[in-house]
Amino acid sequence: MKTDYAHYISKTAQEVQPSGIRKFFDLAASMEGVISLGVGEPDFITPWNIREAAILSLEQGFTSYTANPGLLELRQEISNYLESRFSVQYDAKNQIIVTIGASQAIDIAFRSILNPGDEVLIVEPAFVAYAPLVSLAGGKPIPVSTSPVNGFKVTPEQIENAITEKTKAILLCSPNNPTGTMLTKEDLVEIAKVIQKHDLLAVSDEIYAELTYDGTFTSLAAIEGMYQRTILLNGFSKGFAMTGWRLGYVAAPKELIEVMLKIHQYTIMCAPHMMQHGAIEALRNSYHDVETMRRSYRRRRNYVVQTLNQIGLDCHTPGGAFYVFPSIRSTGLSSEQFAEELLIQEKVAVVPGNVFGESGEGYVRCSYATSMEQLQEALKRMQRFVESKKLALR
Ligand code: PMP
């Protein structure tokens, strides 16, 4: 046997780069007194009634596999939820699969549609998993860069310019990670025209749909002509504060779901039974809790945006999710330098914008899903840091 493992490892897997976020978490974890604005997860514990439903499920002995696409009762709740919240209709029996987080939904979506060399447009800055998952599915991720000039919204022209005869699909994420940008119905209508003109599929990551603060969220699948072209992804992690439960779902036309289900049944079999009982409870009885969390994030967003602008880090007001994406250009540092020096000097962890794509250079992502006290202290430290850098520039 050769001891040089590179010889054995798949070329595609080898070429995928590890997430740039990890490096900072590892460094932050080795230090004391760090305030982390780095992680992308709610600071709330899952509401008690949801936890209780999962406990009850175990007590009652629901320890078997479920149907491959998930409990029909849960798929029915998801179908009801999608219809009542976003006016999109999916048949519980053959248009929905319960997945291991939205993460697995992204994976099976790409693996079900891509042939080698097919191109997928990814609107950047973007969630770090999209491009690697496109590559692992044999496709080619094509970045479509957005800019802060229009609040990081992708324009129909930018999409049009990136399309080639190899383009198979576009991935859209609204509200976005890392920018928090939400696309309005009007934005989506214009984007949909380009998608339809070029006969593309759309993978729509709507995991932050519950966390919107201004205006109304619109699902891409609800836009005229998009239902048949959209693979809709969503999950329980963010809106319901259920990251550790690892539950998400995909809803799409029956023909696409059939292919995704083949991959899902061989790789996963089904999502965990007891967690699915928790998710049923989440969809039935947590409207009040979700609304309370949403209001709390909104308050924190307003505070963080205002303070960042005051301390000289220009920051647009994001419409959703729990991230802000301020410019750090006034400090004369690169994103990586800013994040690294801020961590070492002031013990505040943020994520350098360049890990979300080239257009993220010059920005950092700060999650405001942490307590108000921690946010106040973190911003105080950031102000001190920014002032020291500006003084050094003079
Ligand atoms: N999509 C986006 C945009 C995300 O930010 C995340 C989590 N950070 C996910 C998908 C994955 O979520 P999960 O697998 O926990 O459902």
Tell me the CA–centroid distance for residue 389 and ligand 1, in Å.
34
190: left (phi over 0), alpha (psi -120 to 50) or beta: alpha
**In which domain, by residue range, is 152 found?**
48-285
What is the largest distance, in Å, between two alpha-carbon atoms of the chain? 68
End of a domain among 258, 285, 312?
Answer: 285
Confidence (pLDDT) at 28: 85
Tell me the CA–centroid distance for residue 207 and ligand 1, in Å.
7
Q: Mutation test of ligand 1: which of 22, 103, 250, 325 has the most ligand atoms closer than 8 Å to its C-beta?
A: 103
The Cα–Cα gap between 372 and 295 comes to 13
**Whether residue 309 is found in the same domain as residue 222:** no
Does residue 236 contact residue 245 with C-beta atoms inside 8 Å? yes
End of a domain among 236, 254, 285?
Answer: 285
Residue 387 burial (CB count, 10 A) = 13
**Whether residue 138 is found in the same domain as residue 248:** yes
What ligand 1 atom has the least distance to the C-alpha of 176? 3
**Whether residue 110 is found in the same domain as residue 253:** yes
| CATH code of residue 189 | 3.40.640.10
Please choose, from the candidates 83, 94, 33, the residue with its C-alpha nearest in 3D space to the C-alpha of residue 252.
Answer: 94
**Whether residue 308 is found in the same domain as residue 340:** yes
Sorted by sequence, the CB contacts under 8 Å of residue 295 that are 6+ apart come out as none
End of a domain among 265, 285, 305?
Answer: 285
Question: Atom 2 in ligand 1: which residue has the minimum CA distance?
Answer: 127
**Whether residue 279 is found in the same domain as residue 361:** no
Question: Atom 12 in ligand 1: which residue has the minimum CA distance?
Answer: 102
Q: Is 249 inside any structural domain?
A: yes
H helix runs in the chain, sequence order: 11-15, 20-29, 48-59, 72-86, 101-113, 130-136, 156-162, 185-197, 254-267, 273-285, 287-310, 335-346, 372-393
Q: Is 394 inside any structural domain?
A: no
**Whether residue 30 is found in the same domain as residue 59:** no
Residue 13 burial (CB count, 10 A) = 10
**Which residues are near ligand 1 (CB < 6 Å)?**
40, 101-103, 127, 173, 177, 205, 207, 235, 237, 243, 248
Question: Atom 7 in ligand 1: which residue has the minimum CA distance?
Answer: 40
Angle in degrees, 0-180, between the axes of helices 372-393 and 335-346, rounded to the nearest 10: 110
- pLDDT per residue, tens digit, the chain (394 aa), is 667 888 899 999 999 988 777 777 788 888 999 999 998 899 999 999 999 999 999 999 999 999 999 999 999 999 999 999 999 999 999 999 999 999 999 999 999 999 999 999 999 999 999 999 999 999 999 999 998 888 999 999 999 999 999 999 999 999 999 999 999 999 999 999 999 999 999 999 999 999 999 989 999 999 999 999 999 999 999 999 999 999 999 999 999 999 999 999 999 999 999 999 999 999 999 999 999 999 999 999 999 999 999 999 999 999 999 999 999 999 999 999 999 999 999 999 999 999 999 999 999 999 999 999 999 999 999 999 999 987 777 6
**Whether residue 16 is found in the same domain as residue 137:** no
Compute φ and ψ for 145, nearest 5 degrees: -80, 135
**Whether residue 274 is found in the same domain as residue 132:** yes
> Interior CA angle at 129 toward 124 and 134, to 5°?
85
> Interior CA angle at 131 toward 129 and 136, to 5°?
90
Q: Is 319 inside any structural domain?
A: yes
Confidence (pLDDT) at 2: 67
Sorted by sequence, the CB contacts under 8 Å of residue 50 that are 6+ apart come out as 240, 242, 278, 279, 281, 282, 286
H helix runs in 120-271, sequence order: 130-136, 156-162, 185-197, 254-267
**Whether residue 269 is found in the same domain as residue 300:** no
**Whether residue 58 is found in the same domain as residue 169:** yes
C-alpha R_g of the chain? 21
**Whether residue 301 is found in the same domain as residue 369:** yes
| CATH code of residue 312 | 3.90.1150.10
Q: Is 193 inside any structural domain?
A: yes
What ligand 1 atom has the least distance to the C-alpha of 126? 3
The Cα–Cα gap between 248 and 268 comes to 13
Could you give the number of structural domains in the chain?
Answer: 2
**Whether residue 107 is found in the same domain as residue 198:** yes
